[in-house]
Chains A and B, each alone.
Chain A
Amino acid sequence: MGDKIRIAVVDDHQLMLKGICDSLGEFSNYETECFSTCDSVFAALRESKESNPFDVLFTDLSFENTNESTRIDGGESLIKKVREEDISIKIGVITGHTETNRVFNVITNLQPNAYILKNHCSGEELNFAVQKMIKGETFYTHEIHQKIMNRNIIQIQMDEIAIQILKELPRQSKIINLEGKIKKSDGTEMKIRAIENKLANLRIDLNAKNNTDLVLKAKELGIID
């Protein structure tokens, strides 16, 4: 028992809840508990915090089975509460929400360890997600990954400085030569350190290995012509 990974799952749709729990139950080293309301799962997490803590929490974002007495009315509030209570647990989101707005809000504000979409999720994917989470890594469903990538591209497209750097980069043999060529929106020149920082962030956002790769990726993605 002690070696098993303890997983709590909460969803307002019984069918969905049962499906997830069943899928996780196929793996012998997981001990899964199912909850239908945020309040009940939060109470269980808090109670077992010292004695027998959960390792992973899977939660939906919207809950419709709320009433007057409900204290925690959705996934976002639940995640916040858990963090406030200082309960050490990995949190994964399993939801139907695919709008970038919702996805981005949840990912930037709550930083869940996983974001999984209900409609295409399978037992293997859940298992893979749990493994990654336990290791301290982050897992996003492919579609979500794609969305975040798209978003980064759009963000770079709207970032005039990033566009300037990406356009100027192929023309210069050395990064140091960029100094004085990049102008901020208020007309002042950008310092070389700031340019280097920006480049590093761009490489991360576009998943590029080096600056050459970055320019190629930017061209490929249509960020620059």
Chain B
Amino acid sequence: MKLFPIVFFISFVCFGQGNTSFDQKRDSIIQTGLNSYFQRDTLGLIESNNRLKEIYNINKDSLSLAKIFHFKALIHRIQYRLDSSYYYYHQSKDISRQIKDSLEVGRRLLSMCYMQKDEGDYIGAEVTIIEGLRYLEPLNENLYTAHSLNGLGNVLTDQKIFSEARVYFLKAEELYKENEQERVREARLLDIKNNIGNTHLLEGNPQKAIRYLKEAIETKDIKEKYPNQYQALLGNIADCKYELGEKKQAWDNYRELLRFRKEKGNFFGQSLSHNGLSELYIIEGNTKKALFHAKKGYDLAKQVNNNATRLSALLKLGELTSGNQSKQYYQEYAQLNDSLNNRERYLKNQFAKVRYETEKKDKENTTLKLTKEQNEREIERQKQEKLIGWLLSLAILLLLILSLVSYRNRRKKMLYEGQIQKATAREEERQQIAKSLHDEVAGDLRMLHQKLVQNNADEAKSIEGIKENVRNLSHQLSSVSFEEVSFKDQIINLISDAFAPGFRITTEGIDTISWKEINSTIKRTLYLCVRESLQNTMKYAEASTFVIAFSQEKKDIKVSLKDNGKGFDNAKSSKGIGLKNLKERVEEIRGSFEIESSKEGAKTSISIPIHG
């Protein structure tokens, strides 16, 4: 006779974070739901589950989701839809596993183990409970670990591996002893003793069994405090005594048990008792009483869905009755047995299927995850490659542009330098001509003049004029030595030469330019421009002021030369050799040279790039 407590949800510990109102609300709903389950209140349980769903819809937390599946499992379990129940346990367990809630995983597996065990799938139950223990043991938690160890012991007992079962019962006992809740501890220790005693009894050692059982049943107030344990113990003790031949005492115990079960309204237990008594009466040969108890047992078993007892009772009824009635009982027995066998097979298959499909799904998920990760990696790699490609082509493009620009700059610079060189060469040539003019022509003229002075004064005068012209020409061509004196000093010298009363020359911005950094060809050209313009103004313009304004704009040096003279006719002006010469010089070094004239005076604007 086997009796196993099915109470696993005695103390529900609120774990997780109780610090938010959501968590508190959720925990209270879970508690209400569990109470409904213990009272077999399907509606209450469904209601609690709906409230959990609302919470989940707002919160989207995995903990709520796991509980929703758990409750679904419980709802199906109450209604004996074990395959569905098993399925939802499985789902709930998987979610808990994903959020690494090992305790919940272990508890779900424990429930699943008992379902499998109850349906005779002992091997499956063993596998399940061992898996559960793997989750629970690292937690150092003693209640559910002990429950699981006890469960494993029960599964092993069912498989008639008694000594091993006892090892696990003892392990569970150690843990139960550490439990701080007195009622839980005592009840559980009674269970363990009963279970151990049961193994000895089943092993054919009633003497040893009865020692454990008697020790347990002598617990104080056991009937009031632990009625379930008392019933189980009393049943087993009676079995032991019967085996040991103490029939009278056994009978007394059986009757006491039935009486107690009736008192407690335990129909399941009553069915067991009646069935057991019937069996005893058959052995004693009391057919009438045997038939009575068999019938009672059969009715009660049918009422509480205790199929095993019902089957056993049917067999007895078939034996005890005769004719048509007996035939009917046998037929029912055969039908029930077939359907139970089918159901057992079906459930075993279902359990296996659920496990298989979840595992498959898991595998698929893992494979999908892997593939997804691979794809993502591939995409990432491609992205990187693309980026590198872009960067590379950008770099190449930049390099190309850079080299093109530097090439053009170099070309420009070389061209400019070439032009400067050309300008310098021409300058040297001019200097040479100027020198010759000054020294040879003017010198010879001077000598001629001195000779003529003694003879003919008139001719001497004209020679003097020619000499002056030649000197001027020479000065126009020459630009004297520039290396030793600063540009500002040169300009001052130039203005000094033009110094005359009633003629005011002013300069602007000469200090804003760092002349040392300017190429000497540019400076020479500017100097000659100023000189030429100044000489023209002095000779023809009848001006009283002359303004020389220097400025630097970006990469150009600008000079504006302005007088307040009478101006000149732009159309008529054939541009003297001096101006033509200057314009040429400025343009040689890429500058611009412009002259405007009006009644208010003439203005010359020169702009020369500093770096070509």
Contacts and interface: CB of A to CB of B under 8 A. Distances in A.
B511 A185 contact: yes
A101 B507 contact: no
B440 interface: yes
Given A15-B450, A101-B497, A222-B504, A154 B439 contact: no
Nearest to B508: A158
A84 interface: no
B475 A109 contact: no
B443 interface: yes
B435 interface: yes
B434 to A, nearest CB: 11
Interface stretch (B13-21, B84-92, B483-491): B483-491
A101 to B, nearest CB: 4
B494 interface: yes
A154 B499 contact: yes
Query: What does DSSP make chain A's interface, helix, strand, loop or mixed?
Result: helix
Contact of B484 (A109, A150, A157, A158): A109
A225 to B, nearest CB: 10
B511 A99 contact: no
Contact of B493 (A13, A62, A104, A153): A104
19 contacts: A99-B475, A100-B496, A101-B497, A103-B493, A104-B485, A104-B492, A104-B496, A105-B481, A147-B496, A147-B497, A150-B496, A153-B499, A154-B492, A154-B496, A155-B492, A158-B488, A158-B492, A158-B507, A185-B511
Among all A-B residue pairs, the 7 with the closest Cβ atoms: A64-B439, A151-B496, A150-B499, A100-B493, A101-B493, A100-B496, A150-B496
A151 B493 CA distance: 6
B175 interface: no
Nearest to B505: A154
Which among A101, A102, A151 has the greatest number of chain B C-beta atoms within 10 A? A101
Contacts of A185: 511
Contacts of A13: 443, 447
A93 to B, nearest CB: 15
A105 B485 contact: yes
A174 to B, nearest CB: 30
B511 A100 contact: no
A157 B488 CA distance: 13
A173 interface: no
B497 A99 contact: yes
A108 B485 contact: yes
Contacts of B58: none
Given A100-B493, A151-B496, A158-B507, A109 B439 contact: no
B7 interface: no
A197 to B, nearest CB: 19
Contacts of A153: 496, 499
B118 to A, nearest CB: 103
Interface string B453-494: 000000000000000000000010000110011001110111
Nearest to B491: A158
B11 interface: no
Contacts of B505: 154
Given A99-B493, A102-B480, 10 more contacts: A13-B447, A62-B435, A62-B438, A64-B440, A99-B475, A99-B480, A100-B493, A108-B489, A154-B496, A185-B511
A64 B511 contact: no
A105 B510 contact: no
A15 B451 CA distance: 11
Contacts of A102: 480
A211 to B, nearest CB: 24
Contacts of B440: 64
Nearest to B499: A150
A83 to B, nearest CB: 14
Given A62-B435, A105-B481, A15 B447 contact: yes
Contacts of B496: 100, 104, 147, 150-151, 153-154
Nearest to A148: B496
A20 B450 CA distance: 15
Interface in A103-117: 103-105, 108-109
B495 interface: yes
Which among B439, B447, B490, B492 has the greatest number of chain A C-beta atoms within 10 A? B492
Nearest to A102: B480
Interface in A1-30: 13, 15
Contact of B490 (A64, A101, A147, A155): A101
Contact of A100 (B438, B497, B504): B497
A189 B42 CA distance: 101
Contacts of A222: 501, 504
B435 A64 contact: yes
A138 to B, nearest CB: 19
Contacts of B490: 101
Given A99-B475, A158-B510, A151 B439 contact: no
Contacts of A154: 492, 495-496, 499, 505
B506 interface: yes
A50 B457 CA distance: 50
Nearest to B511: A185
Contacts of A157: 506
Contacts of A99: 475, 480, 493, 497
A150 B504 CA distance: 12
B450 A104 contact: no
Which among B440, B488, B497 has the greatest number of chain A C-beta atoms within 10 A? B497
Nearest to B503: A222
B337 to A, nearest CB: 117
B53 to A, nearest CB: 81
B7 to A, nearest CB: 98
Contacts of B507: 158
B472 to A, nearest CB: 11
B520 to A, nearest CB: 15
Nearest to B436: A64
Contacts of A103: 493
Interface in B351-393: none
Interface in B234-250: none
Interface in B414-445: 435, 438-440, 443
Given A101-B497, A109-B485, A62 B511 contact: no
Contacts of B510: 158
Contacts of A147: 496-497
Given A99-B497, A101-B497, A151 B492 contact: yes
Contacts of B480: 99, 101-102, 105
Contacts of A64: 435, 439-440, 443
B468 to A, nearest CB: 11
Nearest to A153: B499
Nearest to A76: B481
Contacts of B489: 104, 108
Interface in B251-293: none
A26 B490 CA distance: 40
Nearest to A19: B450
Nearest to B488: A158
A81 B490 CA distance: 25
Which among B485, B495, B501 has the greatest number of chain A C-beta atoms within 10 A? B495
